[in-house]
Amino acid sequence: MVKNQLHLEKTEATPNERSLKRIAERIKFLNGQEKEIKMDIAVLLKDHPDIMERIKNICTIPGRGRTDGGYSIS
C-alpha cells in the first residue's frame, strides 16, 4: 500500500519532495519490521518442529508462502 502511495506521489504533476522522502522512510521502516517479524517466526518455529512440518507441507501448494502457511494452521 505504501509503495502505491509512493508511485502516486512520484507521478503527480508536481511531486512534493518532502512527501517522497517521508514515504521512502516509511517503506524502509516497514521493511525492517517485516524482517524482524520473519526472524521471530523462524526462531519460534525451531522450537516447534511439528508446526514447521505442517507449514512446509502448505508451502508446497503453488502460490502459497510461509506467511500463508502460518495463517492456514492458526
Nearest to 29 by CA among 41, 39, 21: 21
User: What's the length of the chain?
Assistant: 74
Per-residue pLDDT of the chain (74 residues; tens, 9 = 90+): 888 888 888 888 888 899 989 999 999 999 999 999 888 888 888 888 888 888 888 878 787 766 655 555 55
Q: Are 70 and 55 in contact (CB under 8 A)?
A: yes
Instruction: Note the pLDDT of residue 69.
Output: 56
| CA gap 21, 26 in Å, rounded | 9
| CA gap 74, 70 in Å, rounded | 6
Its pTM stands at: 0.64
Instruction: Note the pLDDT of residue 30.
Output: 94
Q: Are 51 and 72 in contact (CB under 8 A)?
A: no
